[in-house]
Chain A
């Protein structure tokens, strides 16, 4: 797992964003795919029963490859996707709140 994160960070270092390009530069196609890939790996770790603690390294890889605003967006998205799955399985948020 360590090697994976290292590779990801190496990629990141070679990317334009790290070379002092202002934040107004949007992440290009390559940067986008790297960010999504890191995110998916982190999510997969959580899906496989990992905790935030055990997936910490993947999390830091994900945070270094995606901009802070994207990380916030994807974290909210994951919460929403989990909520959506629960609703599909018959979860009732109103009932859950009562109890």
Chain B
């Protein structure tokens, strides 16, 4: 290894002085370099009165040959590639170790519900797609409509920024008693054409809420039998593996959420992309 490096150092210093600089400059080299250069041929600088001298060494016969230049280039490039590869592997290993040490967030999990068209849906149906998830209810006075409008904007913005990536927006009701399939369908259509509403038995809803640590509690009923359900206001981001990745509270703007999601998508793609050599092996 040492000999190899010293060889490269030796050859590269030669190259620097005599070859690379004039080659790179592509313009007349400075005079002092001209004098040093063995590649110089006769020119007007030589006094005409002197008889022609012995011919200078021909092109390519100097200390730096095309062959040594090529060998140095190939060795240098492969060393650089190897170094970059090792560094990348190390970073990937560090990222894996960090993830292992921190563990997976115990948010998210399976749910078995029915969508607003009456089709049974489990969380597995959404594997392979990014999902944005919001829990709410159709009689919600102000918070849910605001958050769902934000969600719709985020979905459109992310898809505009990340061509080819799509997000499935989901709405899970926390008021299954009152929110019929038809009501949810009508409600979702008010926000985004692809927003899919999910409902189910009270147990199934409670189970889905437990998985996402969503609190919900129906308030007291008034004389019209109307009530408001108090619930956790959070948008959840789930990756194509079905794992919870990030959450956005009421304090996050659509722009902030969009930026975080694009970042999470890039990180997910990088982690799932095999290295150049890894893909060859």
Contacts and interface: CB of A to CB of B under 8 A. Distances in A.
Nearest to B139: A26
29 contacts: A23-B224, A23-B226, A24-B183, A25-B183, A26-B138, A26-B139, A26-B179, A28-B186, A28-B190, A29-B145, A32-B145, A36-B142, A67-B139, A68-B222, A68-B224, A68-B226, A69-B141, A69-B219, A69-B222, A69-B224, A69-B226, A69-B227, A70-B141, A70-B228, A72-B222, A73-B142, A74-B141, A74-B142, A77-B142
Contacts of B183: 24-26
Interface residues of B, number: 20
Contacts of A73: 141-142, 228
A26 B225 CA distance: 13
Contacts of B111: none
B224 A67 contact: yes
Interface of B: 138-139, 141-142, 145, 178-180, 183, 186-187, 190, 219, 222-228
Interface of A: 23-29, 32, 36, 66-70, 72-74, 77
Nearest to A77: B142
A66 to B, nearest CB: 8
Contacts of A72: 222, 228
B190 to A, nearest CB: 5
A66 B222 CA distance: 14
Contacts of B225: 23
A26 to B, nearest CB: 4
Contacts of A32: 145
A73 B139 CA distance: 12
Contacts of A28: 186, 190
A55 B227 CA distance: 26
B223 A69 contact: no
Contacts of A69: 139, 141, 219, 222, 224, 226-228
Contacts of A74: 141-142
A67 B223 CA distance: 11
B146 to A, nearest CB: 10
Nearest to A36: B142
Contacts of A67: 139, 224, 226
Nearest to B223: A68
A5 to B, nearest CB: 21
Given A23-B226, A32-B145, A68-B222, 13 more contacts: A23-B224, A28-B186, A29-B145, A36-B142, A66-B141, A67-B139, A67-B224, A68-B223, A69-B226, A69-B228, A73-B228, A74-B141, A77-B142
